[in-house]
Amino acid sequence: MEFLLDPSTWIALITLIILEVVLGIDNLVFIAILANKLPPHQRDRARVTGLSLAVVMRLGLLSGVSWLVTLTTPLFSVFRLDFSGRDLILLAGGFFLLFKATTELHERLEGGMRGQVENRVYAGFWLVVSQIIVLDAVFSLDAVITAVGMVDNLAIMMTAVIISVSLMLLASKPLTEFVDDHPTVVVLCLSFLLMIGLSLIAEGFGFHIPKGYLYAAIGFSITIEFFNQVASLNRQKHEARMPLRERTAAAVLSLLGGRAYDQAETLEEKIATEDLAAFHVAERNMVTGVLTLAERSVRSLMTPRTDVSWVNLDDDIEEIRTMLIDTPHSFFPVCRGSLDEIVGIGRAKDLLNDLSVNEQITVIEKLRKPIFVPDSIAVLPLIETLRRSKGQLVLVVDEYGTIQGLITPIDVFEAIAGEFPDEDETPAIEVLGDHEWLVAGHADLHELSRVLETSVFDDDIENYSTIAGFLMSKFDQLPDVGAKLELRGFIFTVMQVEEQRIAQVEISRVLQQDLYVG
């Protein structure tokens, strides 16, 4: 036991353990990949069985050191190349690694869908173990020959083998789980096995490839993959901070072949979607409208007070009749003198019939009771209110009871499918050309975002409902006609101002080639 007090003994033991672990990493990676082909409840047993066989095999080889030395004796020659028993084992192991790594790569890159775990066909337990035994023989031979070349003491060699395999056994389960959870790591490991198989074949033919070259290449690849995994984790954290509805919208749009607003479109995407571009845009817009509906404010859906058509009982009978005939609405607020002095909600045909028969409105007591909702109400409760109203309009009031506008079921539908202008209306968004639009000041920012396919309004879309409000915030005052604002690839030109509000805006997209003109 005196040799235990010798520092050189401990140095040799630690060095040999490190070398044995390094040489065993190849075996460990291969076991992790093979164990993944088994049912989950058999994977631990396969790992323990494989590494236990590696210990037994290495200790057995160390016990027969005298026989091991004979493996390096040439058995025959071919074209001036001498082949020993060790060379034949290395050749067999190298070809097996190349074959196995290639088939695994083919299966993972071009095989069937592996995500359907319930339909997945697993390999047999002993088939996997037998493959582990074959590779154990190759890697054990390499490790044992290294041990014999470094240390003369058999006890130190056996101790190093036992400790190194024990460390590998502890690391095998986390490595197997990591490999199973990261498909790119599996492909990287299979690429390593291809390199190792090639080096074994070269060794078998007598061409020595320094292991430092291989490990340097492997280390570089692992470093790159490490940064890829860190980037992936950061993306996941960023997505986790996004609202669930926004993540759902992005996922659905990606399934529909869409892309995020302002995301560059590749040439391949343009060619592939050229014939179906209009269909895809309409489809994406409708899906986006559904998924973002709950986030919208009532003010962005309603017809504002200034655009509400209502019946004033104080007006002349002919004026009322003309308004009812010329305005294509089914229901009207019936008021006396002011929109805030509401009497009830009347059906157009009943009011016209009353005027025709009685030359005045006499059905005041038959008017429907108005339904009021606060301007702070969420869209989903609003939809329930509209459903109970049976087609009647709903009036939106602020905290002081002043009517701010009205909402009908068609307004909610337009928020999903786009604008459906009435006969007396012009579209809020008119297309002037491929990259030009004429937009009414009351145009909804959500709808405008979908038409322009831009996220330029995203930061302000919760604060402003219309393009007029958005531009007023950017100009910090009521702008003059002709005022321009360039923002994130768009030029906004004020075309008309009425009653202290922006009435009409022209929007043009700045093309890439325009950036280099002049």
Residue 129 belongs to a domain: yes
More confident residue, 397 or 15: 397
Secondary structure E strands in 348-476? 372-374, 394-397, 403-407, 429-433, 436-440
Which amino acid is it at 209? I
Would you say residue 32 lies in a domain?
yes
Q: What pLDDT digit, counting tens, does each position of 469-502 carry? A: 889 888 888 888 999 988 888 999 999 998 788 8
Whether 400 and 447 map to the same domain: the answer is no
Lowest mean pLDDT among 242-246, 271-275, 377-381, 399-403: 271-275
Q: How far apart are CA 87 and CA 141, in angstroms?
A: 11
pLDDT for the residue 7: 67
> Does any domain span residue 424?
no
Same domain, residue pair 306 and 395: yes
Q: Are residues 275 and 349 in the same domain?
A: no
In this predicted model, which residue has the larger pLDDT, 197 or 315? 315
Are residue 205 and residue 260 in the same domain, yes or no? no
**pLDDT of res. 242:** 59
Q: Is residue 239 part of a domain?
A: no
d(Cα 170, Cα 164) in Å, to the nearest integer? 10
Of 385, 417, 449, the residue that ends a domain is 417
Mean pLDDT on 409-422: 77
**Domain extent for 372:** 298-417
382-407: average pLDDT: 87
In a domain, 216, yes or no: no
Contact 192, 26 (CB under 8 A): yes
pLDDT at 338 over 50: yes
For the chain, what is the mean pLDDT? 75
Structure tokens at 288: 């986006």
Mind listing the pLDDT tens digit for each residue in 144-177?
A: 665 555 555 667 777 777 887 787 777 777 776 7
Angle at 143 between CA 139 and CA 146, to 5 degrees: 145
Phi-psi region of 76 (alpha: psi -120 to 50; beta: other; left: phi over 0): beta
Considering the domain architecture, whether residues 287 and 338 belong to the same structural domain is answered as: no
Higher pLDDT among residues 506 and 458, named by residue: 506
204 or 314, greater pLDDT: 314
Distance CA 93, CA 135 (A): 7
Say yes or no: 306 and 385 in one domain: yes
Q: Same domain, yes or no, for 277 and 198?
A: no
Asked if the model's pLDDT at residue 374 lies above 70, the reply is yes
Domain-ending residue, one of 417, 446, 476: 417
End-to-end CA distance of the chain: 89
pTM of the model: 0.44
The domain total for the chain is 4
Q: Is residue 422 part of a domain?
A: no
In this structure, the answer to whether residues 445 and 409 fall within a common structural domain is no
Do 149 and 96 share a structural domain?
yes
Give the end of a domain, one of 184, 209, 234: 209
b/e map of 223-253 (b: 16 or more CB within 10 Å)? eebeeeeeeeeeeeeeeeeeeeeeeebbeeb
120-129, 402-411, 448-457: least confidently modelled range = 120-129
CATH number for position 476: 3.30.465.10
Q: What is the CATH number of the domain that holds 308?
A: 3.10.580.10
Residue 220 domain flag: no
Q: Are residues 171 and 252 in the same domain?
A: no
Chain segment 274-333, per-residue pLDDT in tens: 444 444 556 666 776 676 777 777 887 888 888 888 999 888 888 999 988 888 888 999
Judgement on whether residues 336 and 251 belong to the same structural domain of the protein: no
Whether 77 and 198 share a structural domain? yes
- pLDDT tens for 348-358 read 888 888 888 88
The pLDDT tens digits for 218-273 are 778 778 877 887 887 787 776 666 556 556 666 665 655 555 444 544 444 444 44
- Residue 240 resides in a domain: no
Answer whether 475's CB lies under 8 Å from 467's CB.
Answer: no
